[in-house]
């Protein structure tokens, strides 16, 4: 369990829970990161993110929100090593990111499942490619456990084209969790999942990462989801994306053990973030004209 | 670990087949059989009515008869044309298989390399496009000049006919490999080699099969052209001879056989494609 260090808005009425070891070692350090894409066709460079400075501590749950196209995916791609910084730097565990590594796993916005692999085989993929030194038995056991976690037992031998969007997304989640990485990068992992299942999965994820003390960078379009899950919510402005504001969410965890949405602070935080994002979204709409 | 979804999830269950589903699945077969029967009956009646000379259109029954005798008899030693189709069929199929095999042997690696390496692509692509767009029949006189009326000449023409669709499809497969699949493989630790063996190749496999499928069609044209132009054996030669000797029943029998051979080969590759790439199974012609 983690609560951000500057613990301001904690309410006495909210249930308290046993605190785990507090440790604020920085895991992801982004300094003045500017990154973008080369558009070969138009001989242009598109700056997707400008001057992003953000430090994520061990065990922290950071949520990124912002209008579509503001560079959220680009930021986690920079953390995962899929895109290289143009300016500034990005470090993971004290070392500059030069490429992907087994300490980071990702849930992809567009699922990115191998269509020729079954559900089980997709989830097993990280084991095949990263030599983690686990025994065969342990790998089998983990694959089974994570298939069960995302409630896909019985669909092990189905192919992605036989699954619904939400089911595919759950395969993507299991694939990211199965290697139990230090850092989980999740790009709108619950976007295709219905409201009821979504809530159940949010609760499960909160409990899960609290237990495993994983560091999470999580993207969502749902402000409710951001406030429910995040220790901090980073609001990113429209293109080129800059950090507009970082909002601390100091609500006690696990937030699903009580009705967090009933807390007055919840409503205030939600409204505050909503206004920030709305301003940006309006600019996006204007920019599109 | 508790399950994430609140409700009991749906499981895959076997269902009984209703008459309607049976028809939905096999109905088109019945329709096709009836359709073809009617087609041949009408042909038969039309040819027998005397409205057209049997030289141009023999009755369907004569064609089937020629086909039957042609496939069940072998020609006596020494004779070249005796009404036997079988020897010619085996000869042509043998050349076609050899040609297709060589076309795959050259085309698949060439296409993969062109897709995977920008320099190879830049160097080879003008030649590939030039030769792919050149009507292959224009090359036949050249090869007759070089190689004479030999099996070598015929196989060369088959290879040249079949290799380009294979190259181009394999090339396109590599080039269009979904970026997000590559990204996912990288994130989960794929080495450069694994990116090729575990993403690019499986992604490209159905493209290669489509290439081979097109190659079969082109290769068959190559076989017939090569044999009509220059040869003393094979189905193309047989068509030519049947026409020369006004044996229209035999000619139609060979044409019919060509349709059957071509459809069979193409259907085989479709099954292969559906088997190796079920996710691409889309209803199409
Ligand atoms: N591969 C790419 N090549 C060129 N431009 C890209 C590429 N990927 C993203 N972009 C551009 O970079 C900008 C940021 O994209 P990004 O995918 O990071 O946005 P996002 O915040 O994740 O949006 P969304 O919420 O819609 O997923 C966009 O304007 C997009 O046009
Ligand atoms: Mg995105």
| pLDDT value of position A8 | 39
A197 shares contact with chain B (CB less than 8 Å)? yes
| pLDDT value of position B14 | 66
Our mutation pick for probing the ligand 1 site, out of A66, A71, A80, A109, counting the most ligand atoms within 8 A of Cβ, is A71
Residue among A193, A195, A103, A212 at smallest CA distance from A150: A193
Q: What is the CA angle B221-B222-B223, rounded to 5? A: 90
Whether residue A220 has its Cβ less than 6 Å from ligand 1: no
Which of A104, A113, A129 has its CB closest to that of B190?
Answer: A129
The residues, ordered by sequence, that sit 6+ positions from B234 with a Cβ below 8 Å of its Cβ are: B88, B91, B92, B95, B154, B223, B226, B227
Distance B278 CA to ligand 2 centre (A): 29
CB B67 within 8 A of CB B85: yes
Residue whose Cα lies nearest atom 6 of ligand 1: it is: A37
Q: What is the CA angle B171-B174-B175, rounded to 5? A: 85
Whether residue A184 has its Cβ less than 6 Å from ligand 1: no
Residue among A183, A160, A54 at smallest CA distance from A106: A183
Residues 155-194 of A with CB under 8 A from B: 155, 158-161, 170, 175, 179
What is the phi/psi pair of residue A52, to 5°? -90, 120
Residue A96 has pLDDT above 90, yes or no: yes
Our mutation pick for probing the ligand 1 site, out of A67, A74, A187, counting the most ligand atoms within 8 A of Cβ, is A74
Element (H, E) at B221: helix B201-229
Half-sphere exposure of B109 (CA within 13 A, CB side): 4
Distance A194 CA to ligand 1 centre (A): 25
A37 shares contact with chain B (CB less than 8 Å)? no
Confidence of residue A54 (pLDDT cuts 50, 70, 90): very high
Report every protein residue that has its C-beta within 5 angstroms of ion ligand 2: A 73, 109
Distance B133 CA to ligand 1 centre (A): 38
Residue whose Cα lies nearest atom 23 of ligand 1: it is: A69
Which of B184, B186, B277 has its CB closest to that of A116?
Answer: B277
Whether residue A76 has its Cβ less than 6 Å from ligand 1: no
Token digits for B256?
């019919």
Residue whose Cα lies nearest atom 4 of ligand 1: it is: A37
Residue A18 has pLDDT above 60, yes or no: no
Mean pLDDT, rounded, for B227-243? 86
Closest-CA distance of chain B to residue A152, Å: 8
Residue A1 has pLDDT above 60, yes or no: no
CB contact under 8 A, A105 and B187: yes
Give helix B118-133 / helix B151-175 axis angle, nearest 10°.
130
Our mutation pick for probing the ligand 1 site, out of A46, A191, A226, A237, counting the most ligand atoms within 8 A of Cβ, is A46
Residue A245 CA, chain-centre distance (Å), reads: 18
Minimum Cα–Cα distance from A148: chain B residue? B3
Residues 70-99 of A with CB under 8 A from B: 77, 80-82, 99
Which of A130, A145, A161 has its CB closest to that of B189?
Answer: A130
Residue B127 has pLDDT above 70, yes or no: yes
Name every chain B residue with its beta carbon within 8 A of the beta carbon of A175: 188
Higher-confidence residue of B83 and A211: namely: A211
d(CA B235, CA B119): 42
Residue A70 has pLDDT above 80, yes or no: yes
- The interface predicted TM-score (ipTM) is 0.86
Confidence of residue A12 (pLDDT cuts 50, 70, 90): very low
Return mean pLDDT, chain B.
87
Whats the size of chain A, residue-wise? 289
How large a percentage of chain B has pLDDT more than 70? 90
Q: In Å, what is the CA distance from A220 to each residue of A66, A72, B234, B242?
A: 8, 9, 67, 73
pTM: 0.82
Distance B187 CA to ligand 1 centre (A): 18
- Residue-wise DSSP of chain A: ----SS--S--SSSPP---------EEEEEEEEEEEEEETTTTEEEEEEEEEEEEEETT-EEEEE-STTSSHHHHHHHHHTSS--SEEEEEETTEE--S--TTEEEE-TT----TTS-HHHHHHHHHHHS-----HHHHHHHHHHHHHHTT-TT-TT--GGGS-HHHHHHHHHHHHHTT--SEEEEESTTTTS-HHHHHHHHHHHHHHHHHHT-EEEEE-S-HHHHHHH-SEEEEEPSSSB-EEEEEE----S-TTTTTGGGSHHHHHHHHHHHHHHHHHHHHHHHHH-
Whether residue A228 has its Cβ less than 6 Å from ligand 1: no
Minimum Cα–Cα distance from A161: chain B residue? B279
| pLDDT value of position A22 | 46
d(CA B62, CA B89): 19
Whether residue A277 has its Cβ less than 6 Å from ligand 1: no
Higher-confidence residue of B154 and A1: namely: B154
Q: In Å, what is the CA distance from A230 to each residue of A183, A220, A250, A286?
A: 15, 11, 9, 29
d(CA A179, CA A187): 18
Confidence of residue A3 (pLDDT cuts 50, 70, 90): very low
Residue B164 has pLDDT above 90, yes or no: yes
Whether residue A116 has its Cβ less than 6 Å from ligand 1: no
d(CA B102, CA B276): 22
Token digits for A83?
């895109």
> Which atom of ligand 1 is least distant from the CA of A39?
4
**β-pair partners for A246:** A234
CB contact under 8 A, B198 and A150: no
d(CA A195, CA A202): 10
The residues, ordered by sequence, that sit 6+ positions from A132 with a Cβ below 8 Å of its Cβ are: A102, A126, A179
| pLDDT value of position A23 | 59
Name every chain A residue with its beta carbon within 8 A of the beta carbon of B181: 112, 114
Half-sphere exposure of B31 (CA within 13 A, CB side): 6
CB A192 within 8 A of CB A168: yes
| pLDDT value of position B94 | 94
Answer left, alpha or beta for residue A133, where phi above 0 means left and psi between -120 and 50 means alpha.
left
Confidence of residue A211 (pLDDT cuts 50, 70, 90): confident
d(CA B285, CA B278): 16
Residue A189 has pLDDT above 80, yes or no: yes
Confidence of residue B80 (pLDDT cuts 50, 70, 90): low
Q: Which residue has the tokens 């084209």?
A: A161
Whether residue A45 has its Cβ less than 6 Å from ligand 1: no
Where is mean pLDDT largest: A37-41, A163-167, B170-174?
A: B170-174
Comparing A116-120, A155-159, B21-25, B101-105, which segment has the lowest mean pLDDT? B21-25
What is the phi/psi pair of residue A258, to 5°? -140, 175
CB B161 within 8 A of CB B219: yes
CB contact under 8 A, A125 and B185: yes
| pLDDT value of position B148 | 85
Whether residue A40 has its Cβ less than 6 Å from ligand 1: no
Residue whose Cα lies nearest atom 12 of ligand 1: it is: A48
Distance B183 CA to ligand 1 centre (A): 14
**β-pair partners for A236:** A243
């Amino acid at each position: 369990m983690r609560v951000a260090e500057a613990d301001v808005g904690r309410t006495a009425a909210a249930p308290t829970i046993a605190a785990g070891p507090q440790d604020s070692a920085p895991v992801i350090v982004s300094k003045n990161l500017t990154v973008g894409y080369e558009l070969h066709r138009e001989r242009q460079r598109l700056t997707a993110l400008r001057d992003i400075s953000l430090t994520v501590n061990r065990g922290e749950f950071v949520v990124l929100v912002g209008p579509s196209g503001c560079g959220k995916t680009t930021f986690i791609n920079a953390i995962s090593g899929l895109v290289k910084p143009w300016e500034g730097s990005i470090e993971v565990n004290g070392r500059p990111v030069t490429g992907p590594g087994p300490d980071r796993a990702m849930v992809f916005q567009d699922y990115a499942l191998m269509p020729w692999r079954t559900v089980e085989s997709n989830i097993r993929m990280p084991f095949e490619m990263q030599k983690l030194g686990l025994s065969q038995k342990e790998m089998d056991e983990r694959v089974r456990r994570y298939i069960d976690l995302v409630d896909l037992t019985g669909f092990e031998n189905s192919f992605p084209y036989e699954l619904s969007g939400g089911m595919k997304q759950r395969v993507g989640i299991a694939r990211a969790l199965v290697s139990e990485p230090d850092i989980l990068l999740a790009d709108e992992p619950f976007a295709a999942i219905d409201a009821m299942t979504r809530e159940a999965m949010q609760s499960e994820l909160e409990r899960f990462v609290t237990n495993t003390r994983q560091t999470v960078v999580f993207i969502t379009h749902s402000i409710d989801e951001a406030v429910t899950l995040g220790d901090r919510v980073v609001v990113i402005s429209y293109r080129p994306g800059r950090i507009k504001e970082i909002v601390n969410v100091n609500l006690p965890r696990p937030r699903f053990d009580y009705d967090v949405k009933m807390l007055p602070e919840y409503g205030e935080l939600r409204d505050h973030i909503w206004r920030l994002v709305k301003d940006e979204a309006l600019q996006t709409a204007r920019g599109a004209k | 670990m508790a399950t994430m979804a609140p409700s009991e999830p749906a499981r895959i269950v076997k269902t009984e087949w209703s008459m309607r589903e049976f028809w939905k699945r096999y109905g088109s077969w019945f329709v096709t059989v009836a359709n073809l029967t009617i087609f041949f009956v009408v042909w038969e009646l039309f040819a027998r009515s005397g409205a057209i000379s049997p030289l141009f259109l023999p009755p369907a029954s004569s064609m089937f008869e020629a086909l039957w005798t042609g496939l069940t008899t072998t020609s006596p030693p020494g004779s070249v044309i005796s009404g036997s189709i079988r020897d010619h069929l085996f000869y042509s199929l043998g050349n076609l298989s050899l040609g297709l095999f060589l076309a795959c042997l050259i085309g698949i690696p060439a296409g993969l390399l062109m897709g995977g390496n920008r320099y190879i692509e830049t160097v080879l692509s003008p030649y590939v496009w030039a030769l792919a767009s050149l009507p292959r029949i224009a090359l036949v006189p050249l090869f007759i000049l070089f190689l004479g009326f030999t099996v070598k000449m015929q196989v060369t023409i088959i290879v040249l006919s079949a290799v380009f669709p294979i190259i181009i499809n394999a090339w396109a497969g590599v080039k269009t490999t979904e970026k997000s699949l590559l990204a996912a493989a990288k994130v989960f630790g794929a080495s450069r080699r694994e990116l090729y063996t575990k993403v690019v190749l499986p992604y490209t496999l159905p493209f290669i099969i489509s290439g081979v499928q097109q190659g079969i069609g082109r290769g068959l044209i190559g076989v017939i052209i090569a044999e009509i132009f220059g040869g003393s054996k094979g189905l193309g030669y047989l068509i030519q001879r049947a026409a020369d000797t006004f044996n229209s029943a035999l000619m139609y029998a060979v044409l019919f056989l060509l349709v059957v051979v071509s459809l069979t080969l193409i259907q085989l590759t479709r099954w292969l494609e559906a088997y190796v790439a079920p996710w691409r199974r889309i209803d199409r012609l």
